[in-house]
Structure 1
Amino acid sequence: MSDHAHDLRALREATDRLLTAVAKMDDAVLAEESHLPGWTRGHVLAHLSRNADALVNVLEGRPMYESAEARDADIERDSARPLDEQLADLGNSAARFTAASDADQDWSRTVELRNGVTDLASNVPFRRWVEVDLHHVDLNIGYGLADLPAEFTDREIAFLADRWSGRADVPPVTLTATDRDGTWRTGGTEGAPVAVSGPAAELLAWLAGRGDKGAALTATDGALPALPPL
């Protein structure tokens, strides 16, 4: 079981970094494209605010979102707000998540997320940390994958490697970080194993579909295996 108290502290630090960075933006910058296709920076911030409220729902035993359509509509509705409204919503929704996570609860229980996915309640703080730090990168305002805390990068690589484990449409892959001690395995069991190596940030980029999607990585057959969409 994850150390939720540790992850909540790390999440607060990540949230503070994000709020500080967003406060330096302006309305014009907010309306520009993010790293996520089809989303402006305003869409990213709207998603982060609504995701915080959605995870409050999870911790309090309600459906994460009313529906996929409602989730998308809320993000679209909130995406064009001016910076002061976005910043206030980002801070207030983060505070609501903090209040919910500070309440007495059974962190060992199973909770339901989107699309029928379940997880331990103790993993919810890390899931929120992933949202905050990866989407900070997605904003394209100077915070990159290489700036992520090493602990976060290693844990997210492990999480995503586990996500693709056992998938018949992904060959067996061994991932090796060349800039620190780290090895992970993912993919299925059929086919020739593929060894992929490179800096941890590049491994994360490939697994998460970010940045150059692992273009700087080295693979034994010269080509990275294709991964399904997240």
Structure 2
Amino acid sequence: MTSPAHDNPAAESPAADATAVRDATERLLAAVDALDDAAVRAPSHLPGWTRGHVLAHLARNADALINVLSGRPMYVSGESRDADIERDAPHTAAEHLEDLRASAARLDAAFADEAGESWQRTVELRNGVTDLAASVPFRRWIEVELHHVDLGVGYAIDDLPAGFVDRETANMARRFDGHPDLTEAVELRAEDGRSWRTGARTGEPVVVVGTPAALTGWLTGRTTGSGLSASAPLPSLPPL
């Protein structure tokens, strides 16, 4: 079983994060409500996935996080996770909307059942990764915000809430800190002067400068580094 050392969203207030998830979900549901069946079948920004695949993944991820909070395996297996997405991807736009709404409501109820010390227990996610239950709302917030961008329906990296991109930039810096597949040292600098060190822990870093949104877009693989300046060519980041 692995520790969350390189995959830890560093929860602040899980109750506040749960509220942010609700707000992000409402924005997502409004966008999905405007889609017709043809739009749902069209390609998303994720290679090989239609928008229906993204929506199916989001619905099943909500149920998977309920499993995590309940002490059950997040997914029965990687194969079953993929099969569920393939099964649900062809749904109509109306079916996706209802599935997303219902699964989000189930997860929100699971968040409401947590309180105080219960947030501090250790839970297990995919691939043996463990973390505090308090991290789960922010993990869901990441899923909703980034996959909303992946739908390609007019919601872009620059539309992400400022508080989210600040947290996600720091989160991704932690995730890649000392990562064996990122052999260069990297210093991330926001235009307001904040900075994060990541990648190799020795050596002169490549300094990458931009807004937190531009940094988040690059770190999460949603952009190729547009809007960033760097002291050397941008390093190749490990796959997520």
Same fold (TM over 0.5): yes
Instruction: Show structure 2 runs of 5+ residues with no match.
Output: 1-10
- 1:135 matched to 2:124: no
Give matches, 1:99-110, under 5 Å. Answer: 99-104=109-114, 106-110=118-122
Q: After the TM superposition, which segments of 4 or more aligned residues of structure 1 sit over 4 Å from their partners?
A: none
Which position in structure 2 is the counterpart of 1:24? 34
Q: Deviations over 1:129-182 (max 9, x none)?
A: 10001100000000000000001001011111100001243211111112x343
Q: Deviations over 1:186-226 (max 9, x none)?
A: 11123331110012211111110003x213311112x0011
Secondary structure of 2:155's counterpart equals coil
Question: Which residue of the other structure, out of 135, 142, 147, is the alignment partner of 2:159?
Answer: 147
Which position in structure 2 is the counterpart of 1:61? 71
Question: Which residue of the other structure, out of 227, 230, 235, is the alignment partner of 1:216?
Answer: 227
Distance (Å, rounded) in 1 between the aligned partners of 2:112 and 2:194? 33
- 1:74 matched to 2:84: yes
Q: How far 1:85 sits from its partner (Å)?
A: 0.5
Distance (Å, rounded) in 1 between the aligned partners of 2:106 and 2:78? 22
Residue correspondences, number: 227
Which position in structure 1 is the counterpart of 2:98? 88
Q: How far 1:72 sits from its partner (Å)?
A: 0.3
- 1:206 matched to 2:187: no
Secondary structure of 2:119's counterpart equals coil
Contact 1:168 1:190 in 2 (8 A): no
Counterpart AA for 1:147: D
Distance (Å, rounded) in 2 between the aligned partners of 1:184 and 1:192? 14
Secondary structure of 2:120's counterpart equals coil
Which position in structure 2 is the counterpart of 1:174? 187
Q: Deviations over 1:39-60 (max 9, x none)?
A: 0000000000000000000011
Q: Which moved more, 1:105-114 or 1:68-77?
A: 105-114
Distance (Å, rounded) in 1 between the aligned partners of 2:128 and 2:180? 21
Distance (Å, rounded) in 2 between the aligned partners of 1:11 and 1:61? 21
Identity between Structure 1 and Structure 2 (%):
59
Q: How far 1:183 sits from its partner (Å)?
A: 1.5
Which position in structure 2 is the counterpart of 1:123? 135
Counterpart AA for 2:226: A
Distance (Å, rounded) in 2 between the aligned partners of 1:202 and 1:31? 29
Secondary structure of 2:208's counterpart equals strand
Instruction: Give the alignment's Cα RMSD to 1 decimal.
Output: 1.2
Compare relative contact order (CA 8 Å, sep 6+) and give the higher one, 1 or 2.
Answer: 2
Instruction: Show structure 1 runs of 5+ residues with no match.
Output: none
Contact 1:169 1:188 in 2 (8 A): no
Q: Structure 2-normalised TM-score? A: 0.92
Give matches, 1:185-196, under 5 Å. Answer: 185-196=197-208
Contact 1:174 1:196 in 2 (8 A): yes
